[in-house]
Amino acid sequence: MRVAILGAGAMGSWFGGRLAESGTDVQLLTTNKAHRDAINSNGLILDTQGRRSTIVVLARAPEEIEAPVDLIILLTKSFQSRDAMNAVAHAIGETTHVLSLQNGLGNSEIIEAFLPRERILIGNTMMPVDRIAAGVVRKTGNGITRFSGVVSQDLPLTGKILDAFSDTDIDIEHDESIQKAVWEKVAFNAGMNAVCALARGTPGNIGAATGAIELVKQVAAEVAAVGLTQGVVLDLDSVNQTIEYACANHKNHQPSMLQDLLAGKRTEVDALNGAIVTIAAGAGVPVPLNEVLFTLIKMAEDSSTTGGG
């Protein structure tokens, strides 16, 4: 199986690196030239609690993708999806599938402009990974990855994907209730990412601050209420357990929303809290906490990108 990682940042590099290490034919696609150059010159360095491995894998700009490709794993930010897919559209063949492991809602709808729904898979990952330097990424904890087809639950590629990951440290499974899993991660991220970003803190800081975990759980509860209006029943107890686990075990992980604000970049808040606010308005469900977090993150984005304080 030939795999292209489209959006080889921290998470994409880890997935691609581990697949390449286990023998899968992988190409990493990223617009970050410094990251590409470091990987092509020195190899991709994967760090797990101080234990490092160097993986020889090819990194390219997205438009330089080498066809044919059996599977494109899409890990760009949600707002980058359309441009990223446009960059590789010429390499999408009649048997190419796309697996989105992105945060947020609405990703599969964007991908549908480039290939049929029956060749689209969606999922998510709870594994915390940070890029600590060009060509170097670090996993700071464990977390499961789930996926399934948008249409069919028995895609021919499913077994090949599971086999490819079987010799890696990535815990992945086929989940027929993938929409539930996607919404549960949105519930987790809407609170955890936004609060960490605004507080300039980590899950460990949330765990140590009075009332912060409860705030994150209340944000998740609003997401669960919106999910019900869309026919998705979230396991809120499971989401709350994941929140508590992250605060206790991923204490030093910087969520991507925090990293983006610190770097003066756009965040994924539109596909998280923003999407919840939009759906909630149409469904007549009050989501005051998500509204506040969305507004504050957009203000922080404006301040970060314009050089404000």
* In the predicted structure, residue 19 carries a pLDDT above the cut 50: yes
Contact 5, 73 (CB under 8 A): yes
pLDDT for 140 equals: 84
At 176 the pLDDT is 85
* pLDDT exceeds 50 at position 292: yes
Return residue ranges of the chain for CATH 1.10.1040.10: 179-305
What's the mean pLDDT in 73-96?
A: 96
Start-end ranges of CATH 3.40.50.720 in the chain? Answer: 2-176
Residue 309: band (very low, low, confident or very high) from pLDDT cuts 50, 70, 90: very low
Over residues 98-113, the mean pLDDT reads 94
Task: Give the tens place of pLDDT for each residue, 156-178.
Answer: 789 999 999 999 989 999 988 89
pLDDT of residue 258: 94
CATH architecture of 179-305: Orthogonal Bundle (1.10)
Residue 50 has what pLDDT?
79
Confidence of residue 6 (pLDDT cuts 50, 70, 90): very high
* Low-confidence winner among 21-30, 56-65, 145-154, 207-216 (lowest mean pLDDT): 145-154
Q: Give yes or no for residue 300 having a pLDDT over 90.
A: yes
| Cβ neighbours of 142 (radius 10 Å) | 15
For a pLDDT cut of 90, what percent of the chain falls above it? 85
Give whole-number Cα distances, 245 to 196, 206, 239, 258, in Å: 15, 12, 10, 19
CATH code given to domain 2-176 = 3.40.50.720
Interval 264-270 mean pLDDT: 93
Question: What pLDDT is attached to residue 274?
Answer: 97
Q: Which segment of 50-54, 71-75, 234-238 scores lowest on mean pLDDT?
A: 50-54
Q: Tell me what the pLDDT averaged over the chain comes to.
A: 93
> In whole angstroms, how far apart are CA 41 and each of 21, 38, 57, 76, 276?
17, 5, 10, 23, 43
Under a CB-based contact definition with an 8 Å cutoff, are residues 122 and 96 in contact? no
Which of 134, 165, 172 is CA-nearest to residue 30?
Answer: 134
pLDDT of residue 145: 95
Which residue, 16, 26, 2, is CA-closest to 168? 16
Q: φ, ψ for residue 67 (rounded to 5)?
A: -85, 160
Report the pLDDT averaged over residues 28-33: 97
Confidence of residue 49 (pLDDT cuts 50, 70, 90): confident
- DSSP class of residue 68 equals P
pLDDT of residue 63: 97
98 three-class SS: strand
Q: Which long-range contacts (CB under 8 A, 24 or more apart) does 170-174 make?
A: 170/14, 170/15, 170/18, 170/125, 170/127, 170/145, 171/127, 171/142, 171/143, 171/144, 171/145, 172/144, 172/145, 172/146, 172/147, 173/144, 173/145, 173/146, 174/146, 174/147, 174/148
- The whole-number pLDDT of residue 305 equals 58
Q: How far is CA 228 from CA 109, 236, 271, in A?
A: 20, 12, 18
The reported pLDDT for the residue numbered 308 is 45
Over residues 220-240, the mean pLDDT reads 97
To the nearest 5 percent, what fractions of the chain are helix, strand and coil?
50, 15, 30
Distance CA 3, CA 71 (A): 5
